[in-house]
Amino acid sequence: MSFDLCVWHPHQLFSDAEAGKVYRDLCASRRQGVRAHPAVDAFYAELIRLQPESDTVPEELVDDTEYCPWSSALDRSHGHVLLCCVWSQAARVANLVGIRAAKHGLLVYDPQEGRVYYPTLPSAKAKLPTSPPPGEGVGKRERSAKRDESGRLRAGSSLCERASE
């Protein structure tokens, strides 16, 4: 189980339900609900400078979730970034993503809560929720140290995987 977030440029105001549909579409590799925007690329570049992609992690740091909190590779286009992190890093990652999304004028969708957040709007929620569901993520091995045939870290279970089933 992972803590997932999705970020994209808000070319319109989305309700929670509309943002949820965009998220499910992105999970199914349908990207018509987002538009390319340079702010998304700038957000991604800044994010991976701070928290590198899982496929770039040296073997000796594979289990260091502070160095790389991602439970699978980030899914991205010029219009979105979909992130899956281990539960033990959920609060830190939600804060990191929220701050950077606000800086770049992007929205954040939290599929665990089914809520869209506009960090730059005065009415935005103060914090993204980061509590794992009861019994999830605590005391469990959160990420496999194994790599697949292509050398990438093997993905954990994410909401995106379940949403596309």
pLDDT band at 87 (very low <50, low <70, confident <90, very high): very high
Q: Beta partners for 82?
A: 6, 75
Residue 139 Cα distances to 89, 121, 135, 142, angstroms: 13, 37, 9, 8
Share of the chain above pLDDT 90, in %: 54
Give me the residue spans of the domains in the chain: 3-163
Q: What confidence score (pLDDT) does residue 126 get?
A: 42
pLDDT in tens, 94-122: 999 999 999 999 999 999 999 999 877 65
> Nearest-5° angle of CA 135, CA 136, CA 140?
100
Answer yes or no: is pLDDT of 91 > 70: yes
Full-model pTM:
0.75
The more confidently predicted of residues 129 and 90 is 90
Q: What confidence score (pLDDT) does residue 92 get?
A: 93
Tokens of 71: 């439970």
Q: Beta partners for 85?
A: 3, 70
pLDDT in tens, 28-58: 999 999 999 999 999 999 999 999 888 888 8
> Nearest-5° angle of CA 141, CA 72, CA 1?
45
Q: What confidence score (pLDDT) does residue 160 get?
A: 47
The stretch 4-32 carries a mean pLDDT of: 95
